[in-house]
Structure 1
Amino acid sequence: MAEGIVGEFLALKEETDADLLAMQCGDFYEFFGDDAEFVGEELDLKISEKSSHGSAYPMAGVPLTELTPYLKALVERGYRVAVADQYEVDGGHERAIERVVTPGTLLETTDSEARYLAAIVREGGGNGGEDESRYGLAFADVTTGRFHATEIVGGSEDVLTECYRFAPAEILPGPAVRTDDDLLGRLRDRTDGTLSLHTTDAFAPDTARATVDEQFGSEALASVGLDEATGAIRAAGGVLDYVDTTGVGTLASMTRLQPSQSKEGVALDATTQRNLELVEPMGDGGRTLLDTIDHTVTSAGGRLLREWLCRPIRAREELTRRADGVEALAAAALAREELREELGAAYDVERLSSKTVSGSADARDLLRVRDTLAVLPRLVDAIEGSPDLQNSPIADVLARPDRAAAEELRGALDEALAEDPPGGVREGDLIRRGYDDDLDELIDGHEAALDWIDGLADREKRRHSITHLSTGRNKTDGYYIQVGNSETDEVPEEYDQIKSLKNANRYTTDELDEREREVFRFEERRSDLEYELFCELRERVADAAELLQDVGRALAECDCLASLAVHAVSHDWTRPELVDSGLDIDGGRHPVVEQEVEFVPNDLALTEDRAFLVVTGPNMSGKSTYMRQTALITLLAQIGSFVPARSAQVAPVDGIYTRVGALDELAQGRSTFMVEMAELANILHSATDESLVILDEVGRGTATYDGISIAWAATEYLHNEVRAKTLFATHYHELTGLAEHLDRVANVHVAADERGDEVTFLRTVEEGPTDRSYGIHVADLAGVPEPVVGRSRDVLSKLRAEKAIEARGSSSDESVQAVFDLDSGSFRGSASADGGRTADELSEGETTENETVDGSLDPDAESVLDAVQETNIGETSPIELMSRVEEWQRRLDDTEDDE
């Protein structure tokens, strides 16, 4: 009964804390009640309304074979969906929830991006403050079996950085994190991950350690230096328990525990990753570094390249090995293209291994595993046929997987699987003839029974001389004999009529019924045996999950190195030389910008004696690009890539820190200036003498004098205490004077050619400071109205000549107020439009209207002068300053009226 189905649905829904329930009903997965209305709106599904016993209920469904895309759409929008499957029990049906699909446990993903589930645990902190907190983090990708864990001592910003690097689809906050509103809010704002709660018991230290030991072995934690990292263990245990609880069935594919942070890694906080646009553009339609250099031909290769960009290293041996591989592939053009062509035939075996482990892989998936394993020896042949590659790191990469085991598994799959199996695993035709004797016997019997039926029509025509006779099969009638109406009188007595049609009648016979039962028995037994054999084969592949992961990672690395080689060759990049200190770039270019414009290369030299460059120059002249390209060249060198330069000598850094424009965090109550200062504070606390620091316009978010003070003090601290390699772009020309007092500071500027009012930005970086900023020219380029630009030039000329500046009224007969006289730096009084003069223009013996004969001011005028002298022009905005001037003028006018 329908009401019974709805009741069963509601009962199952109460068993789970999932947002939605999809319940199998025959050949469909159905949603009922509120769930039906919700998915109908979200997924544009048709909602039916059926009545039973006087009540109506909404229902929406999708075919059994089409659940995956709908499930994916719901989960990627952040919803958790329980799936209840139907089973045959004693002639009836029973249903049970088999899995809960969540954003972090969605196995049926169709894109190539990694899909991480994360857990965050906090220990300590409390009254000790955030700086004393210890965070444990774990990240698992159920689609590939990747599993990382780490422990962080410090603030929540480091947690956000790690989350930004892995971009988890779902985050499980541990018990203490659930009450940290600030961290939760920033996780919501700074990541796309859905926050989900999981049982507190899973994060308990003893429980979590037992879970991790059972999954990875008791020695795994010690092998990666996490044996005493309680927070990391708790987070890892929470993730493993969640994966197990949701029923995704991929635990067996998680064979290795890896630290997410290497001692040889490069600190790359979330701010820097965004500022450098490594994998995410800062604006709509922007192009990232990954977009630019990604020429991979496999999904796994693209994922690995992204990982390298977000997790650069400083291990010389590994960097040299990667660069050797890129260099070899760059030199061997034909072999490189053959390698890439072969890689293009490979499937994502890391993900396929997870599907086999979960039991969701079908025969076509196993064929993809077979075909990918066949790529491995072809790649080896391509390498061995190239003198440039046969002794290169590429050969070593392909030697990592157990090639004998891979070939054995490939052979087993080739021997077992039919070449064109159906999409389902219960339909038969999965297994190749000759693989199993019992199956071959069933296939022979099945085919013999079918042959008898196929020849029945011809035999009956000859036997009974009936011309219009045929045989067929459908779900309603089974097998039947059909005779046209014109010859129905000729049918023999043994024909039993089962249906009358408009132009024919359908019949069956006792022998045909027996043959039909025989066919059905063969089909059922064949299907069951094929499914059994297929499951055994799938289990064998699942047992080889670690081998498949090794193969997948080897193919991904070859693809990644080949991609870097392709870009290096096609864009004239060069191999950087790794040195012990300094940074020397000859003809450096920005790897992304050079794709879009004709780029002017620039040099850069940082040494022990010249480690801090103050970069000045006009707006829009290329200062930020110059600094970013320096950071990106350094980063590319530290993933093993070639770099966009004529030559480059790079000493690997332990961190790259940038502050190049504040993101808007007003929703968190953080002003632009507050964000700027928070980012600066993080740099000053985190950078070392082996770091690279990029600062752009520090201090501009506040009043001028405050900004100069902060920029000045930060420069001194970075120079004297941190001693990091630093590029500092500024419009505060006062800072250029630091080069005369701090021995490691030097000035460079982006040159401009000025001819009259025409300015051309040359995009070349030269030694020494600039003498002006050309802001008015930039305003003109940006389309500021000509009256404003013209007036700006007039004001600027007076400033340069140290002449007084008057605030003009809106009409020619309105009085004009002299606001500044830079000769004395103070307010000078008023002058009327009809020839009035300032105090300095009075001849000897004359007095102003507010001045007595002996030269003293009356009390009201003196109070105005005091207010002027107390006003700090550098810290007062132009609008506020004009308001004050108007107030002072009003007070002076009132004094005149009183007289």
Structure 2
Amino acid sequence: MSDPDPDTIVGEFFALKRETDADFLVMQVGDFYEFFGEDAETVADLLDLKVSQKSAHGSDYPMAGVPVDKLTPHLKALVERGYRVAVADQRETADGHERAITRVVTPGTLLETSDADAQYLVAVVRTDAGYGLAFADVTTGRFLVTAVGDGDADDAADRVFAELYRFDPVEILPGPSVRNDDAFLDRVRERTDATVSVHRAEAFAPGRATHLTTEQFGPEALDSLGLDGGRDDTPEVQAAGALLSYVEETGTGVASSMTRLRRYRGDDHVELDATTQRNLELTETMSGSTGGTSTQGGREGSLFATIDHTVTSPGKRLLAEWLKRPRQDRSTLRTRADGVAAFADAALAREGVRESLGDAYDLERLASKAASGSADARDLLRVRETLALVPTVADAIESDPTLSASPLADIAARPDREAAADLRERLDALVDDPPATITEGGLFRRGHDDDLDDLIDRHEAVEEWLDTLADREKRETGITHLRVDRNKTDGYYIQVGNSETDAVPDRYDRLKSLKNSERYTTDALDEREREILRLEERRGDLEYELFETLREAVAARADLLQSVGRALAELDALASLSVHAVENDWVRPELCESGGIDVEAGRHPVVERTTEFVPNDAHLGGDRRFLVVTGPNMSGKSTYMRQVALVVLLAQIGSFVPAAAAEIEPVDGIYTRVGALDELAQGRSTFMVEMQELSNILHSATEDSLVILDEVGRGTATYDGISIAWAATEYLHNEVRAKTLFATHYHELTTLADQLDRVQNVHVAVDGEPPSSDGAASGSADEGDGDVTFLRTVEDGPTDRSYGIHVAGLAGVPDPVVERSRDVLEKLRAEEAIETKGGGADATKQVVFDVGSGQLQTRDDGDDAPATGASDEDPAGDRLDEETRAVLDELSGVDLTGTSPVELMNRVQAWKERLDE
């Protein structure tokens, strides 16, 4: 084909570019895909491509391209950076060729990924009934919907973001009302790494969305899930329809792999908000995380990385999904635990199953590639090899008495083995080592197609004639330096060394002279060349047709491949949990109907892998539903509370747990408030983040939830903080009644155990009491310079000291600061004056802490009188105004023994406000 007109090429590129809203357009031009103009310059910079110039319309345009067979890795690199790329393919016509955009590759529609993680595309719709979300992983065909409609608008939005955090989508399609909510979109961009893409508003219309969803999954799918499509109160159907429309319009071609619609939410799953998922470090650590923004830590050190021993990509995805979505259903959890227990008791059989699973490929993703038409012969070969493992794995389970008597046998028997065998047999038509391309033949064994066998016979006959031609010519001509070969320029030729060219017969026609030889052809050779080229072309065309038919047959059985893939993934995930349980001495928890949480010698599943861990018991239930946890910094309070939450979470994915024994009453949600980092860029301070997280817990937790609070109220003034912590404790105890662990340095809260029925105190024990400044042990002193050992052991009762200054010393704070801290603390507790020094040696003042005002007050050196100017005759002092005197009168009349702590705190706050005025 002659070179196309450059004016036509460039003009066609920019015309196609105007048709799409994609970030870049790449257009096929012969054997290359080309970018032009600004696209070429930007892409070349991103992918390190060479930029050349193409002249058109009297101007020069930047051009950068890649060979046709090298496009996929470059597309992948662009899309993984968050760009959307339109692809214009070229096809031959009677008049030459034409080009059209055939697909738009986006982060959520990229099939070619080597990452084992799910690649979710999500649509978010908001109506008067609440939010609807639809999630699709085009690489596996998975399709999920849910609705979020409970609570007020802010609460519903928080739950939406909890789901987005859970699924970690790569691309988000906001519906019309969401699209116009700048605050929501800003939060999406700040808190996720997803690309936000705009899809046509009409795709979200209820009628159209219902039609597409029904057409894809069948009318019974909506009915069975209770989704009465078309009404305004089914936002999840609108999201599903819009998502299906987007996948169709991007040209991904994976619709046939989306065979099952699932509504995943409901009462069965444990509520885990984004904060809890982050704080418990389920799949990523908090390192690098900035208060909930999209900057997250790495996977190493997370719970998932710790317990992951899977040998397949689908098993890895499933295990991560279980961690993010624990269950409440005891039947499901017991079935999983039975599988883990069976694998634990049959180590040899387990390792045999895992060895077989290690040879399995990702059937879910292979099904999607087949459905999209992008699967090659090697992909179908992987399907065949994985289907061949189905009877192998099933037989390994059935042949072991322990495994065959467990739910593992049911999982292995779940796929249709007969259908799998039939499809595998059909795929036996492929050769064991097919070529990388599917257009040049060599894909099929003999016996698959009679016409193909005839072509192969004729092709092999010509090949044999060509292979023996050199020997025949040597015998006939007597030429010894003669060979027959082929290249793209000369085709087939006979090459003779220069020393023997005189012996060349007249029937040889010279093609080319080389330095040391001559190349020739003959009429017979030309005829055979034409024949073999015709046969190769016909064989390539026929094999391509046969391959397309075979690939379509595989795509039509996407449901079978997904069923087999899910079964193998489940076996892999259960085996992984079993491996970790056996290697780390974990035990099977008992799931009880009531009784709360009872853990004996529990451990933190991640920390125990890196340190010599001190186990601790945890008892929550009955009249012990709220534990106030006190103890020094660095003593292990946070670790203790997190380990309780993780033991419960592991039990509710069906796993064994790190403990000597455990009885768990399944919870409906796990909520945590652990520290807080400033989000000043989003206008949220540390204290604001803390209060919003606390608010979410108080609104969302129920009597069946587990709440973990690691400090509340520390981000504000002491009295404010104590008041908030006190009130939150009462509310959780009296109204929410959730099982709660509350770590605090406000020792005042420990008195609540005497006032509230279900509140108990526990503390992290310390060995050794730091002596007071005079060397004698003091029960009231918090600090000293003695030796202290943090035992990491949790015991009943409150602690009476915080050891904060001792910890400061351990942290390397300079000795003068530590010693001065001890001196100041001792004088504060003794209500003695503290001498403060300014910039000069003689610039000293003395201050005392006035308990009534909660402030430091100054007094002159050597003056024993209070700084207020009061005298013995008039304690209030002549300089006090009338309002201050009134406050002091009220204070002196307070009955401390008859006033509740909360009422007292409220009065103190009111007095403070009056005095401030």
Per-residue Cα deviation, 1:748-791 (whole angstroms, up to 9, x for no partner): 01111234322211100010111011111111122222111111
Residue 33 of structure 1 is matched in structure 2 by: 37
Which 5+ residue runs of structure 2 have no aligned equivalent?
A: 288-296, 771-784, 892-904, 907-911
Residue 562 of structure 1 is matched in structure 2 by: 575
Looking at structure 2, the residues matched to 772 and 867 of structure 1 have their Cα atoms a distance apart, in angstroms, of 36
Q: Trace 1:408-447 onto structure 2 (pairs within 5 A).
A: 408-414=422-428, 416-447=429-460
Q: Trace 1:169-568 onto structure 2 (pairs within 5 A).
A: 169-227=170-228, 229-283=233-287, 284=297, 287-414=301-428, 416-568=429-581
- TM superposition shift of 1:52: 5.6
| Count of residue correspondences | 857
- TM superposition shift of 1:869: 8.9
Residues 385 and 677 of structure 1, relative CA distance in 2, 3 Å threshold: same
- TM superposition shift of 1:485: 2.2
In percent, how many aligned pairs have the same letter? 67
Q: Counterpart of 2:511 in structure 1: which amino acid?
A: I
2:778 matches 1:765: no
SS of 1:569's partner is helix
Looking at structure 2, the residues matched to 647 and 827 of structure 1 have their Cα atoms a distance apart, in angstroms, of 52
Residue 888 of structure 1 is matched in structure 2 by: none
SS of 2:35's partner is strand
SS of 1:770's partner is coil
Residues 330 and 511 of structure 1, relative CA distance in 2, 3 Å threshold: same
2:727 matches 1:713: yes
CA contact (8 A) 1:804 1:821 kept: no
Say which is worse superposed, 672-681 or 759-768, in terms of deviation: 672-681
CA contact (8 A) 1:831 1:837 kept: yes
- TM superposition shift of 1:825: 6.7
CA contact (8 A) 2:831 2:848 kept: no
Alignment TM-score, normalising by the size of structure 1:
0.92
Looking at structure 2, the residues matched to 444 and 78 of structure 1 have their Cα atoms a distance apart, in angstroms, of 51
- TM superposition shift of 1:167: 0.9
2:126 matches 1:135: no
Residue 896 of structure 1 is matched in structure 2 by: none
Residues 490 and 645 of structure 1, relative CA distance in 2, 3 Å threshold: same
Looking at structure 2, the residues matched to 309 and 452 of structure 1 have their Cα atoms a distance apart, in angstroms, of 64
CA contact (8 A) 1:688 1:724 kept: yes
- TM superposition shift of 1:188: 1.0
SS of 1:58's partner is strand
Per-residue Cα deviation, 1:392-416 (whole angstroms, up to 9, x for no partner): 11110011100011011111111x1
Residue 736 of structure 2 is matched in structure 1 by: 722
Say which is worse superposed, 469-478 or 270-279, in terms of deviation: 469-478
2:122 matches 1:121: no
CA contact (8 A) 2:767 2:791 kept: yes
CA contact (8 A) 1:826 1:868 kept: no
Looking at structure 2, the residues matched to 858 and 387 of structure 1 have their Cα atoms a distance apart, in angstroms, of 90
SS of 2:189's partner is helix
Looking at structure 1, the residues matched to 42 and 328 of structure 2 have their Cα atoms a distance apart, in angstroms, of 51
Q: Please, which of 97, 101, 112 is the counterpart of residue 108 of structure 1?
A: 112
Residues 509 and 866 of structure 1, relative CA distance in 2, 3 Å threshold: farther
- TM superposition shift of 1:37: 0.6
CA contact (8 A) 2:876 2:885 kept: no
- TM superposition shift of 1:4: 2.2
2:161 matches 1:160: yes
Residue 15 of structure 1 is matched in structure 2 by: 19
Looking at structure 1, the residues matched to 433 and 72 of structure 2 have their Cα atoms a distance apart, in angstroms, of 22
Residues 103 and 8 of structure 1, relative CA distance in 2, 3 Å threshold: same
Q: Trace 1:623-642 onto structure 2 (pairs within 5 A).
A: 623-642=637-656
CA contact (8 A) 1:428 1:530 kept: yes
Q: Please, which of 799, 807, 824 is the counterpart of residue 828 of structure 2?
A: 799
Q: Counterpart of 1:271 in structure 2: which amino acid?
A: T
Residues 135 and 527 of structure 1, relative CA distance in 2, 3 Å threshold: same
Say which is worse superposed, 43-52 or 696-705, in terms of deviation: 43-52
CA contact (8 A) 1:828 1:838 kept: no
Say which is worse superposed, 336-345 or 378-387, in terms of deviation: 378-387
CA contact (8 A) 2:615 2:793 kept: yes
2:628 matches 1:614: yes
Residue 809 of structure 1 is matched in structure 2 by: 838
2:670 matches 1:661: no
Which 5+ residue runs of structure 1 have no aligned equivalent?
A: 125-132, 841-847, 876-880, 886-899
SS of 2:360's partner is coil
Per-residue Cα deviation, 1:491-549 (whole angstroms, up to 9, x for no partner): 22222222222222222222211111100010001001111111111111111100000
Looking at structure 2, the residues matched to 484 and 53 of structure 1 have their Cα atoms a distance apart, in angstroms, of 52
Q: Counterpart of 2:651 in structure 1: which amino acid?
A: A
Looking at structure 1, the residues matched to 266 and 557 of structure 2 have their Cα atoms a distance apart, in angstroms, of 28
- TM superposition shift of 1:824: 9.3
Looking at structure 1, the residues matched to 677 and 613 of structure 2 have their Cα atoms a distance apart, in angstroms, of 28
Per-residue Cα deviation, 1:536-587 (whole angstroms, up to 9, x for no partner): 1111111110000000000000000000000000000000001112110000
Looking at structure 2, the residues matched to 604 and 860 of structure 1 have their Cα atoms a distance apart, in angstroms, of 56
Residue 779 of structure 2 is matched in structure 1 by: none
CA contact (8 A) 1:150 1:226 kept: no
Residue 129 of structure 1 is matched in structure 2 by: none
CA contact (8 A) 2:84 2:105 kept: yes
Residue 587 of structure 2 is matched in structure 1 by: 574
Residue 6 of structure 2 is matched in structure 1 by: 2
Residue 81 of structure 1 is matched in structure 2 by: 85
CA contact (8 A) 2:124 2:175 kept: yes
Say which is worse superposed, 86-95 or 371-380, in terms of deviation: 86-95
Residues 597 and 863 of structure 1, relative CA distance in 2, 3 Å threshold: farther
CA contact (8 A) 2:7 2:55 kept: no
Residues 856 and 276 of structure 1, relative CA distance in 2, 3 Å threshold: closer
CA contact (8 A) 1:803 1:821 kept: no
Looking at structure 1, the residues matched to 73 and 528 of structure 2 have their Cα atoms a distance apart, in angstroms, of 41
Q: Compute the RMSD of aligned alpha carbons.
A: 2.5
- TM superposition shift of 1:466: 2.2
Residue 147 of structure 1 is matched in structure 2 by: 143
Looking at structure 2, the residues matched to 534 and 634 of structure 1 have their Cα atoms a distance apart, in angstroms, of 51
Residue 838 of structure 1 is matched in structure 2 by: 864
SS of 2:26's partner is strand
Looking at structure 1, the residues matched to 328 and 875 of structure 2 have their Cα atoms a distance apart, in angstroms, of 72
Residues 580 and 852 of structure 1, relative CA distance in 2, 3 Å threshold: closer
Q: Counterpart of 2:532 in structure 1: which amino acid?
A: V
Alignment TM-score, normalising by the size of structure 2:
0.90
2:73 matches 1:60: no
Per-residue Cα deviation, 1:341-374 (whole angstroms, up to 9, x for no partner): 0000000000000000111000000000000001
Looking at structure 2, the residues matched to 425 and 663 of structure 1 have their Cα atoms a distance apart, in angstroms, of 55
Residues 516 and 640 of structure 1, relative CA distance in 2, 3 Å threshold: same
SS of 1:334's partner is helix
Looking at structure 1, the residues matched to 218 and 831 of structure 2 have their Cα atoms a distance apart, in angstroms, of 78
Per-residue Cα deviation, 1:423-459 (whole angstroms, up to 9, x for no partner): 1111211111121111111011111111112222222
- TM superposition shift of 1:808: 2.4
Residues 396 and 3 of structure 1, relative CA distance in 2, 3 Å threshold: same
Looking at structure 2, the residues matched to 447 and 794 of structure 1 have their Cα atoms a distance apart, in angstroms, of 99
CA contact (8 A) 1:807 1:819 kept: no
CA contact (8 A) 1:804 1:822 kept: no
Residue 787 of structure 1 is matched in structure 2 by: 816
Q: Counterpart of 1:151 in structure 2: which amino acid?
A: A
- TM superposition shift of 1:464: 2.0
- TM superposition shift of 1:75: 0.5
- TM superposition shift of 1:820: 2.8
Q: Please, which of 829, 849, 853 is the counterpart of residue 820 of structure 1?
A: 849
Residue 843 of structure 1 is matched in structure 2 by: none
Looking at structure 2, the residues matched to 631 and 586 of structure 1 have their Cα atoms a distance apart, in angstroms, of 14
- TM superposition shift of 1:856: 10
